[in-house]
Amino acid sequence: MNNYNTDHQLISFVPRMEQAAAQRNPYLGEYWEIILSIQENLRQPASAEFAGVEVIKSLEEIKRMKRWNDQHDHFSRCAYEYLRFAYNLGASEQAIKRIAHTKPNIGVEALAGMNAHELSLNRRITKGEQAEDHTYEGRMRSEAEFWVHDKIVCDYTRKRVPQSARLDIPIFPEDEAGYVREMVEAMSDMGGDKDGSASQIDTVRKMSKGVMEHVAWQYFRESRLAQNGDAKIQPWCTGFYLREYDSWQERWDDMIVLMTKSKAAVADLIIAIYPKRFATDPYYELQRKNINDRNNKKRAQDARNKAALAAQASGAGAGH
């Protein structure tokens, strides 16, 4: 019976949170304080006694740290089971994001203080004005709250896509694998004139088919997200624009053309994203940025000097 009750709590927790939000439950704010408190305190801090061992605190231990309303005892137990189960699966972030939309006023809270251009859905062309001097207030007290905010700002970029445009998205493994194989062939096609620098073309030429297959699967998954209108990207990311296609196949065809003709695009797919590069080797990245900055300034100065010499020569010629 206990196992049944626990399973039922896990299955019903998300819909119950959604129901509470839909009914504007007056205790929803308190529920979220409990959820965040459990998530933030679920893991036992490292100690010599438990070195190298993952230790999860009991609900009673967490409750002793907090002063929750006694009438929320049943809710706290349900929330604890939901979050403990997700933690054991390594899925805490997904569990919090699954219910993020139920947090009171989160839509306003997550987007508050941002500039208009940072919320544009066409960041490819929108530059915006210089940001005002906003005072940093620190709205997120923990990583768990960051997960909530991140889910909401990514949802902001979602587009409503007609069902007719989503009907042909592949769902069978053999079809998915076939499209990935087609993409690998496009990526590895080196015939004819190709866009890209010598270095980029050389990078693609030396890529193994195993790497290309892995990258093609990632690329395929992005095509599915895009066609569903859910790019899972923050609105302030520059260069972002979600183009609409009447079918997934039309989107895929354009993606195939891009990878076939542009080896620069293929090479870009294996570049580590900037947050990972900057976090893993910040020392090197700073040195590289400084060198690039000096080189750019030198090129700009050389161009100015060349223009000045040309102007002097033109003036001297006019004097004669």
Which three-class secondary structure state does DSSP give residue 90? Answer: coil
Residues composing the chain: 320
264 and 285 inside one domain: no
151 and 51 inside one domain: yes
Alpha-carbon 28 to chain mean position: 27
175 and 255 inside one domain: yes
Give the count of domains, the chain: 3
16 and 142 inside one domain: yes
Please give the residue range of the domain that contains residue 48: 2-129+137-156
72 and 107 inside one domain: yes
**Rounded to 5°, angle at Cα 214 from 210 and 215:** 115
Nearest to 189 by CA among 268, 251, 262, 269: 262
14 and 79 inside one domain: yes
85 and 170 inside one domain: no
21 and 36 inside one domain: yes
> How many alpha carbons fall within 13 Å on the CB side of residue 48?
0
Give the integer Cα–Cα distance in Å for 162 and 72.
Answer: 41
> Higher-confidence residue: 153 or 48?
153
In this prediction, residue 261 carries a pLDDT of 95
> Higher-confidence residue: 293 or 190?
190
183 and 252 inside one domain: yes
pLDDT above 60: residue 92: yes
Model confidence at 52, in pLDDT bands (50, 70, 90)?
low
In this prediction, residue 68 carries a pLDDT of 73
Q: What is the pTM of this model?
A: 0.82
DSSP string, 7-50: HHHHHHHHHHHHHHHHTT-TTHHHHHHHHHHHHHHSBPPP-STT
27 and 147 inside one domain: yes
Of 1-5, 84-88, 177-181, 202-206, which gets the smallest average pLDDT?
1-5
Of 14-23, 67-76, 307-316, which gets the smallest average pLDDT?
307-316
What does the pLDDT look like over 30-46, one tens digit per residue? 999 999 999 999 987 65
What does the pLDDT look like over 259-274, one tens digit per residue? 999 999 999 999 988 8
99 and 231 inside one domain: no
252 and 181 inside one domain: yes
User: What mean pLDDT is predicted for residues 2-24?
Assistant: 79
What does the pLDDT look like over 156-189, one tens digit per residue? 999 999 999 999 999 999 999 999 999 999 999 9
User: What mean pLDDT is predicted for residues 196-209?
Assistant: 93
pLDDT above 70: residue 134: no
Alpha-carbon 121 to chain mean position: 15
